[in-house]
Structure 1
Amino acid sequence: MDRKIFRLAIPNIITNITVPLLGMIDIAIAGRLGSAVYIGAIALGANIFNMIYWNFGFLRMSSSGFAAQAYGARDLSEVMNVFIRSLAIGLGVGLIIVLLQYPIGELVITFIKSGPESAEHVKSYFRIVVWGAPAVLGMYAFKGWFIGMQNARIPMVIAILNNLLNILLSMVFVFGFGMKIEGIALGTVLSQLISLLAAAGLWWKYYRRLVEYVRKETVWDRQAIRQYFRVNSDIFVRTFLLTLVTTFFTFASSGMGEAILAVNALLMQFFMLFSYFMDGFAYAGEALTGRFIGSKNREYLQWMIRRIFFWGTVVSLVAVIVYLIFPSQILHIMTNDLYIIERTKDFMFWTLLIPVAGFAAFLWDGIFIGATASAQMRNAMILSSALFFACYFIMSPLWGNNGLWLSFILYLLVRGVMQTIWSRKALSF
């Protein structure tokens, strides 16, 4: 069982780690264009697309859960149904975003409070990168389906290819052809389109034999579509609330002054670093849970949950030890501002609680997605988010930033506790 878990977890961890690298390279390229305005424009533009795409994460998650269950049941017709539905919806939503790019662009630009020059650069970036929306959402469908088919290597290869192409093409357009922010944007959209073609090529190479199992009369079966959108709507609510909490955390930090905003931005990197590793095990939980539920193998499902929580506990303890022993070294990697580093050390205690309080929520999310137990996952998020805001408005006036962090830790802890309580119902079959 450990081999099955790590065969899925390790490629996903590698995939997760490549994500911040790409952002760092884009910022580094923008930082050599001769003006700090370009750095801000790239950061703003990337955040706009992160906000748009994040809310369509259900395309990957539901595709993973449904595909894994069909794979476990050896229902190859349904395996193909899941693939066709997810890819068609992903490409369709991406096309709608392209068609509505003008009103979407005008809306998001109104939230930018920086100067007109920065806003113009963000517009230029948006107008080019938006053409990659079908490719991005199509790759969501591919990634979820591949994971559901117990194959984490192909998504890893695609992610690495996408990031390398993005870096290479952006450098060629910027430094080779003298383009500025448009060059970075063009490199981004071309890498997305090429990566989608690569995903399709790898699918054809390894899975084209499944074409013979396509049954046109069942692809858009009314009951299956109803179930598909029910699960996706639950995941959308869960993802929206997750985004709301993390976004509010940043806004609340900004209200405490520039120093605390910088401190919390650094502390959040400890949370993100931990999440890159824990998400790898959550993805493994998705794939294996769906597979064992599909095959109705309760014994293997319970065995897998025990082992994945064992390894989740190990990773959490390692994170606590690393954060306890090397806080200064990690902070110096992220900034050379000695004043901010010293202020951050006053709140480092919270980083030790993040792995302990948060690991169960990560793992149960993956397991619940694999089980398509979206209602329980949604309800846990609603309850924990409500607790977060209630605690913040009560504790923050009394304890300032410590009150904000206590609210966030309780939010993570309650999510995990509620999902643990509801796991018996969520995993019943």
Structure 2
Amino acid sequence: MAAPRDREIVRLAVPAFLALVAEPLFLLADAAIVGHLGVAQLAGLGIAATVLQTAIGLCVFLAYGTTAAVARSLGAGDLRAALAHGIDGIWLAVAVGGVVTVAGVLLAGRLTALFGADPEVTDPATTYLRIAFLGTVPLLVVLAATGALRGLQDTRTPLVVAVGANVLNVVLNLVLVYPAGLGIAGSALGSVLAQLAGAAVFVLVVARAARRHGAPLRPDLPGVRAAGRSGAPLVLRTLTLRAALIATTYAVVLGAHGPRQQAVDLATHQLAATLWAFTAFVLDAIAIAAQALTGRALGAGEVAETRALTTRMIRWGVVSGVVTGALLAAISPAVGRLFTGDAAVQELLVPVLLVAALGQPVAGVVFVLDGVLIGAGDGRYLARAGVLTLVAYLPVVLLCGWLSAGLVAIWASFCAVFMGARLVVLRHRARGDAWLVTGAAPRPQPA
């Protein structure tokens, strides 16, 4: 049975892999283009990206929760209910996105100031962030619609849309930053316009499928509220992950002495974090397959198949982690020159990436197990596990910053303590039976 399971994993993971590779290219393209404006602008992009990714990352439940609910209904044989769950997720994305947009635009300056960087860094960070927050609703709609399609076992459509939006993003960035002379503001504006175009295509695809199968397109308030409640534990889980990343960036600022070292450390950290996100998305392709296949199998009541799929996907996670780690180590001496001409940033980036490469096999297993438990709807455990992991990590990374241990030590603590703790708590849960709950996700009835 390994071969059929492998084919299922590959069928979902390969398009998801390509789509997820395209997603971080939004930031990679921004970093490559903005990096040639200067170190201060690149460092500012690093702070703005941390804030924006935190805000959007907290809403990733729109994709994960929707995938699990849609896949369970699909496994139970109710395609209309599956699509209705997808529509609920999109309407929830619109509502949440509106709130985040207003708050983000109004608070952009205060959010960037929290990192304590010099004005030459926080000013471009604020400029980028204030514009980028205008793309929140499209981004969240893309998350929800992508989750719906993944739950329907379709990872090819998100790939096509992601590639198209990414190409448009690069073109708009190049035009708006340099010929149009908008600088870092042009980079933010180009990304917003590309995100808006991608969201429009996703909405069209999901709406057409819903019409074909009789699922309502109008907002169903009980369904939207139920989607919000089921996603709440995933918000806490994601909050702990984002808090760890913010604490890591804060430790970088805390440990730097003087404006020059601060700019170099932040710029290097931004590049390393972007490349880590790139490899994380690569590894997360198997986690996406895990979400979809686990939800479908449990919806159909197939506990033994769920166990077998989990074992197989863990093996895929280990192999993928070894491969991405080897590639990251191989490119570490040269990749810095693609993003900046600053020799200090290029030199510091090499050992940081080597540390990140060593953490890839652990990350591969962590992402797979995370995907399995998300697909099972085990959000409450993931929330509790996230809190425990954060409690273990914060004292270590903040101590590294306070002692000025250096950027390499900070990244070593991230890979060893943070990712290691996540591996322990997720592996512990996967060995038990409490997460193996069968049946379709219920839909509330209108009053």
TM exceeds 0.5? yes
Report what 1:141 is aligned to: 144
* 131-140 or 279-288, larger mean C-alpha shift: 131-140
* 69-78 or 35-44, larger mean C-alpha shift: 35-44
- The residue identity in structure 2 corresponding to 1:249 is T
Report what 2:22 is aligned to: 18
- The residue identity in structure 2 corresponding to 1:303 is A
CA distance in 2, matches of 1:383, 1:418: 8
CA distance in 2, matches of 1:357, 1:91: 35
Report what 2:239 is aligned to: 240
Cα gap change, 1:106/1:213 in structure 2, threshold over 3 Å: closer, same or farther?
Answer: same
Quick check: 2:62–2:140 contact (8 Å CA) kept in 1?
yes
Please tell me whether residue 200 in structure 1 is matched to residue 203 in structure 2: yes
The within-5 A match list for 1:166-185 is 166-174=169-177, 177-185=180-188
> Which of the numbers 316, 320, 323 marks the counterpart of 1:315?
320
Equivalent position SS for 1:255 = helix
> Which of the numbers 396, 413, 421 marks the counterpart of 1:414?
421
CA distance in 2, matches of 1:63, 1:347: 36
Cα gap change, 1:189/1:318 in structure 2, threshold over 3 Å: closer, same or farther?
Answer: closer
Please tell me whether residue 274 in structure 1 is matched to residue 279 in structure 2: yes
Please tell me whether residue 51 in structure 1 is matched to residue 60 in structure 2: no
> Which of the numbers 11, 18, 43 marks the counterpart of 1:7?
11
Give the Å deviation of 1:108: 2.7
1:226-275 alpha-carbon deviations (Å, 9 max, x no partner): 65334312111111111111221222233333376676666656643431
- The residue identity in structure 2 corresponding to 1:360 is V
* 70-79 or 364-373, larger mean C-alpha shift: 70-79
Report what 2:378 is aligned to: 373
- The residue identity in structure 2 corresponding to 1:315 is S
Q: Give 5+ residue unaligned stretches, structure 2.
A: 439-447
1:322-370 alpha-carbon deviations (Å, 9 max, x no partner): 4566653556666676666666666776445412332221111111111
- The residue identity in structure 2 corresponding to 1:88 is W
Report what 1:69 is aligned to: 72
Report what 1:256 is aligned to: 255
1:35-75 alpha-carbon deviations (Å, 9 max, x no partner): 76655555554444323212211111111111111111122
1:265-293 alpha-carbon deviations (Å, 9 max, x no partner): 66656643431221111011011111111
* 317-326 or 290-299, larger mean C-alpha shift: 317-326
CA distance in 2, matches of 1:408, 1:171: 34
1:65-106 alpha-carbon deviations (Å, 9 max, x no partner): 111111111223421331222111111122233444553335
Report what 2:434 is aligned to: 425
Give the Å deviation of 1:123: 5.2
- The residue identity in structure 2 corresponding to 1:362 is F
Equivalent position SS for 1:425 = coil
Give the Å deviation of 1:219: 4.2
Give the Å deviation of 1:209: 0.8
* 329-338 or 97-106, larger mean C-alpha shift: 329-338
> Which of the numbers 290, 293, 314 marks the counterpart of 1:288?
293
> Which of the numbers 385, 390, 414 marks the counterpart of 1:385?
390
Quick check: 2:321–2:362 contact (8 Å CA) kept in 1?
no
Quick check: 1:358–1:409 contact (8 Å CA) kept in 2?
no
- The residue identity in structure 1 corresponding to 2:323 is V
Give the Å deviation of 1:196: 1.5
CA distance in 1, matches of 2:212, 2:138: 24
Cα gap change, 1:298/1:108 in structure 2, threshold over 3 Å: closer, same or farther?
Answer: same
* TM-score (ref. length: structure 2): 0.81
Equivalent position SS for 1:382 = helix
> Which of the numbers 304, 308, 315 marks the counterpart of 1:303?
308
Give the Å deviation of 1:124: 5.0
Cα gap change, 1:107/1:252 in structure 2, threshold over 3 Å: closer, same or farther?
Answer: closer
Cα gap change, 1:220/1:48 in structure 2, threshold over 3 Å: closer, same or farther?
Answer: same
Q: Give 5+ residue unaligned stretches, structure 1.
A: none
Cα gap change, 1:185/1:314 in structure 2, threshold over 3 Å: closer, same or farther?
Answer: closer
Cα gap change, 1:121/1:197 in structure 2, threshold over 3 Å: closer, same or farther?
Answer: same
Give the Å deviation of 1:116: 6.2
* TM-score (ref. length: structure 1): 0.84
% identical equivalent positions: 23
Report what 1:157 is aligned to: 160
Cα gap change, 1:420/1:252 in structure 2, threshold over 3 Å: closer, same or farther?
Answer: same
Cα gap change, 1:303/1:114 in structure 2, threshold over 3 Å: closer, same or farther?
Answer: closer
CA distance in 2, matches of 1:286, 1:266: 29
Quick check: 2:92–2:227 contact (8 Å CA) kept in 1?
no
* 357-366 or 391-400, larger mean C-alpha shift: 391-400
